[in-house]
Amino acid sequence: MHMSQTTAVRPVAARRRPGRGLYVGLIIIGILTLLRAFAPAPPADSLADTARDFVTLSISVVIESLPFVFLGIVLSIGVQIWLPEGFLLRRLPKNVVARRVVLSLLGMLLPVCECGNVPLARGLIAKGLTVGESMTFLFAAPILNPVTIITTQQAFGWDGGILAWRIAGGFLIANLIGYIYSRHPKPESLLTPRFREACALGDGHNAADGKARRSAALFTKETSAMLPALFIGAGLAGLIQTAVSRDVLVTLGSNPVWSVLALMGLAFVVSICSNVDAFFILSFGATFLPGAIVAFLVFGPMIDIKMLALLRTTFTAKTLVQLTLIVALCSAVLGLAINYAV
Amino acid sequence: MPFRRLLRRWQGALLSVVGIVATVWLGFSGQLGLYIHPRYFVFTLVMAFIAGVLVVVAFALLPATEHEHALPDDDQGRWAWLWSAGSILLIASATVGLLVLPPATLTTATVAKRDLNGSTSNLTQSEASDLVGGDYSSFTVRDWSSLLRQGAGEDFFADKTATVTGFVTPDTSDPENVFFLARFVVACCAVDAQPVGIPVYYPGWQDEYPIDSWVSIESGFDTNPSISSEEAIALVPSEITPTDQPAEPYVY
């Protein structure tokens, strides 16, 4: 009784003073801007090189990923609030296999990077997509999207079938995972309790609230879920990069088995965006066997440190361990098959 | 607890503001290139602007705390204070990292982790071949290091003069006499940076040029006089000019 009274009264009271929040917000933005503009430069060498590089690498991950996360949240707001109810999901085929196939090609229309796909997938689950289907979309979209395909083609051309293997591998693994998790007896148990409750509550506002207010509420909710994960993931990626020497991975390059595992390890650590990972790995083209490069290009967009931190906002730790093992196993098999058979 | 509810509602918006202010300031002060490839500049700034509008709209339209029923069950748990502490720590760390510490490039510590010239991060074989006969005066550290790595040979380098700028990092095989004039090659962001460099034979260089300081060199190539260095060909300059870090310290 007490709760329902509070619920009914609080927002109305808050709405009577719409300007106050705006002033508070602008003051916070102003203070942080002044802080950046006038932060005193610390004396040179106040940070050891390694600590400085840790900060630089972590910031680099944040600055590079943040716009994609914002784009994903904006698209998620579009899907959940601005598009007519069921606009996207209603158009999907009824047959489950065909449905997953279409979902794995959704990245062709919404070419967001993998970090942006997480908030978008959360929005789609909230709108009724099953957990298995959301995984198919999450894992296929970073690879089966026009930007990734064009950059991979630019980097490798048609040589060695690297582009074809990448597309086929991404498509098959994403659909396999969708199939496996579609058979789960309690798919909702794969989601974190917090996200489950968020889905049950909808966007937390009734339809009487304007779309602008609901969009703003969803933005704060999604940034509160995604950004802590992104910042922690960026910190971990920076930390591991300053702690682990890349030489160790690169020296394993010419062995058909180790090269595959080494490049998958590199993909996991580097956490690089799928749109440009082909250019990055091109630099190792002479060192590594083609199967290792394909394993890197298939495994990296699906699973890496940053991606796991972001996915943890939505899926339980146990689910993520299973997903990591399945994707790693499939990518390794694909890479080894190419190394030995082609 | 009101503070916890306030934090839960606004931590995303606060982290967004930290990220947006940092991005926009880096963009307008010309330092975004310290972290990401220039092809992302426009996209990054446009998304920062859109997110900035959404943050301001959220501050203007939303009540300070979430509805009671919108709170997850674990909000009232015994360890809920730990969540608040972690959240504050995260926001404080992000603020210090992005808004207080000065922007910086990667250093020699990362060169050591990433095998200088260990990859062909620079250019493919055919691209390197195309360089031969090009305009040598405009060649970057990346171009020269590619040619050295592709084994262009002493004859090729005999009459060539390089005019290059980079930072100083020691040659591990002969740190007394040889250093590398190095740059990082970036494909996407600083995370994927691969170091490339040209060996420079200059005994006693440590006394004049600290590691990670930036220098410009105009010099011809020669057989590397060093006995222990693994580099066969090196720049052997008579003069090295200290310089400021360029606005775009990475090469692409």
Of B100, B134, B159, the residue at which a domain comes to its end is B100
Contacts of B214 in chain A (CB under 8 A): none
Residues with Cβ within 8 Å of A200's Cβ and at least 6 positions away in sequence, in order, are: none
Q: B121 and B6: one domain?
A: no
pLDDT per position as a tens digit, A27-40: 999 999 999 998 87
Q: B92 and B139: one domain?
A: no
CB contact under 8 A, A52 and B109: yes
Q: What are phi and psi of B79, to 5 degrees?
A: -95, 15
Q: B35 touching A, CB under 8 A?
A: yes
Decide if pLDDT at A127 tops 60. yes
> For position A338, what pLDDT does the model report?
92
pLDDT per position as a tens digit, A84-98: 877 878 888 989 999
Decide if pLDDT at A167 tops 90. yes
Q: B131 and B230: one domain?
A: yes
Is A206 buried (19+), middle (13-18) or exposed (0-12) by CB count in 10 A? Answer: exposed
Is B228 buried (19+), middle (13-18) or exposed (0-12) by CB count in 10 A? Answer: exposed
Q: Confidence class of residue A4 from pLDDT cuts 50, 70 and 90?
A: very low
Q: B10 and B73: one domain?
A: yes
Residue of B159 and B90 predicted with greater confidence: B90
Contacts of B36 in chain A (CB under 8 A): 60, 63-64
- Minimum Cα–Cα distance from A60: chain B residue: B35
The answer to the question of residue B248 being in a domain is: no
Coil, helix or strand for B189?
strand
Q: B118 and B238: one domain?
A: yes
Alpha-carbon span A85 to A68, nearest angstrom: 25
Q: Count how many residues are written for chain B.
A: 252
Written as one letter, the residue type at A242 is T
CATH number of residue B234's parent domain:
2.40.50
Contacts of B194 in chain A (CB under 8 A): 283
The answer to the question of residue B150 being in a domain is: yes
Work out how many CB contacts closer than 8 A connect A with B.
Answer: 278
Decide if pLDDT at A5 tops 50. no
Contacts of A64 in chain B (CB under 8 A): 35-36, 40, 44, 188-189, 191
Q: Confidence class of residue A100 from pLDDT cuts 50, 70 and 90?
A: very high
Q: Which of A 30-49 lie inside 8 A of B, CB atoms?
A: 32-33, 35-37, 39, 41-42, 47-49
Of A71-85, A203-217, A228-242, minimum mean pLDDT range: A203-217
CB contact under 8 A, A193 and B72: yes
Three-class DSSP labels, chain A: CHHHHHHHHHHHHHHCCHHHHHHHHHHHHHHHHHHHHHCCCCCCCCCCHHHHHHHHHHHHHHHHHHHHHHHHHHHHHHHHHHCCCCCCHHHCCCCHHHHHHHHHCHHHCCCCCHHHHHHHHHHHHHCCCCHHHHHHHHHHCCCCCHHHHHHHHHHHCCHHHHHHHHHHHHHHHHHHHHHHHHCCCCHHHHECHHHHHHHHCCCCCCCCCCHHHHHHHHHHHHHHHHHHHHHHHHHHHHHHHHHCCHHHHHCCCCCHHHHHHHHHHHHHHHCCCCCCHHHHHHCCCCCCCHHHHHHHHHHHHHCCHHHHHHHCCCECHHHHHHHHHHHHHHHHHHHHHHHHHC
Q: A70 touching B, CB under 8 A?
A: yes
Q: Confidence class of residue B55 from pLDDT cuts 50, 70 and 90?
A: very high
Of A70-74, B134-138, B240-244, minimum mean pLDDT range: B134-138
The answer to the question of residue B86 being in a domain is: yes
Q: B113 and B236: one domain?
A: yes
Q: Confidence class of residue A8 from pLDDT cuts 50, 70 and 90?
A: very low
Please give the angle made by the CA atoms of B204, B165 and B98, to the nearest 5 degrees: 105
Return the residue matching tokens 């919404």.
A110
Q: Confidence class of residue A13 from pLDDT cuts 50, 70 and 90?
A: very low
Alpha-carbon span B26 to B13, nearest angstrom: 20
Q: B81 and B117: one domain?
A: no
Of A245-249, A320-324, B71-75, minimum mean pLDDT range: B71-75
The answer to the question of residue B200 being in a domain is: yes
Looking from the CA of A304 toward its CB, the CA atoms found within 13 Å total 34
> For position A283, what pLDDT does the model report?
62
Alpha-carbon span A60 to A234, nearest angstrom: 8
Q: How many domains does chain B have?
A: 2
CB contact under 8 A, A220 and B73: no
pLDDT per position as a tens digit, B161-179: 888 999 999 998 888 899 9
The answer to the question of residue B95 being in a domain is: yes
Q: B115 and B226: one domain?
A: yes
Contacts of B60 in chain A (CB under 8 A): 18-19, 21-22, 25, 216
> For position B1, what pLDDT does the model report?
55
The answer to the question of residue B251 being in a domain is: no
Decide if pLDDT at B75 tops 60. no
> For position A249, what pLDDT does the model report?
66
> For position A203, what pLDDT does the model report?
54
Mutate to test the interface with B, among A7, A49, A63 (most CBs of B within 10 A): A63
Q: Which of A 303-342 lie inside 8 A of B, CB atoms?
A: none
Q: What is the mean pLDDT of residues A121-143?
A: 91
Alpha-carbon span B45 to A100, nearest angstrom: 34
pLDDT per position as a tens digit, A250-285: 667 667 888 899 889 888 987 777 877 887 777 665
The answer to the question of residue B176 being in a domain is: yes
Q: Which of A 13-32 lie inside 8 A of B, CB atoms?
A: 13-15, 18-19, 21-22, 24-26, 28-29, 32
Q: Confidence class of residue A7 from pLDDT cuts 50, 70 and 90?
A: very low
* Shortest distance, CA B239 to any CA of chain A (angstroms): 26
Q: Which residue, B183, B117, B173, is CA-closest to B150?
A: B117
Highest mean pLDDT (candidates A47-51, A64-68, A133-137, B72-76):
A133-137
CB contact under 8 A, B119 and A284: yes
Beta-strand relationship, B241-242 and B214-223: antiparallel
> For position B130, what pLDDT does the model report?
62
Alpha-carbon span B53 to B59, nearest angstrom: 10
Enter the ipTM.
0.87
Contacts of A204 in chain B (CB under 8 A): 66-67, 70
Residue of A328 and A122 predicted with greater confidence: A328
Of A320-329, B49-58, B134-143, minimum mean pLDDT range: B134-143
Mutate to test the interface with A, among B4, B84, B100, B192 (most CBs of A within 10 A): B192
Contacts of A270 in chain B (CB under 8 A): 191-192
> For position A3, what pLDDT does the model report?
39
Is A46 buried (19+), middle (13-18) or exposed (0-12) by CB count in 10 A? Answer: exposed
CB contact under 8 A, B114 and A204: no
Residue of A185 and A237 predicted with greater confidence: A185
Nearest CB to A280: which of B12, B66, B187? B187
Residue B149 structure tokens:
């790595």
Q: B179 and B86: one domain?
A: no
Of A285-289, B71-75, B168-172, B234-238, minimum mean pLDDT range: B71-75
Contacts of B112 in chain A (CB under 8 A): 245
pLDDT per position as a tens digit, B92-135: 999 999 999 988 888 888 887 777 776 544 455 455 556 666 67
Percentage of chain A lying above the pLDDT 90 cut = 36
Q: Domain containing B138: what range?
A: 108-242
Of B62, B79, B100, the residue at which a domain comes to its end is B100
> For position A46, what pLDDT does the model report?
63
Q: Confidence class of residue A6 from pLDDT cuts 50, 70 and 90?
A: very low
Decide if pLDDT at A206 tops 80. no
The answer to the question of residue B247 being in a domain is: no
Q: A276 touching B, CB under 8 A?
A: yes
Q: B81 and B154: one domain?
A: no
Q: B89 and B210: one domain?
A: no
Q: B89 and B122: one domain?
A: no
CB contact under 8 A, B191 and A237: yes
pLDDT per position as a tens digit, B207-227: 989 999 999 999 888 888 888
Residue of B32 and B132 predicted with greater confidence: B32
Q: A61 touching B, CB under 8 A?
A: yes
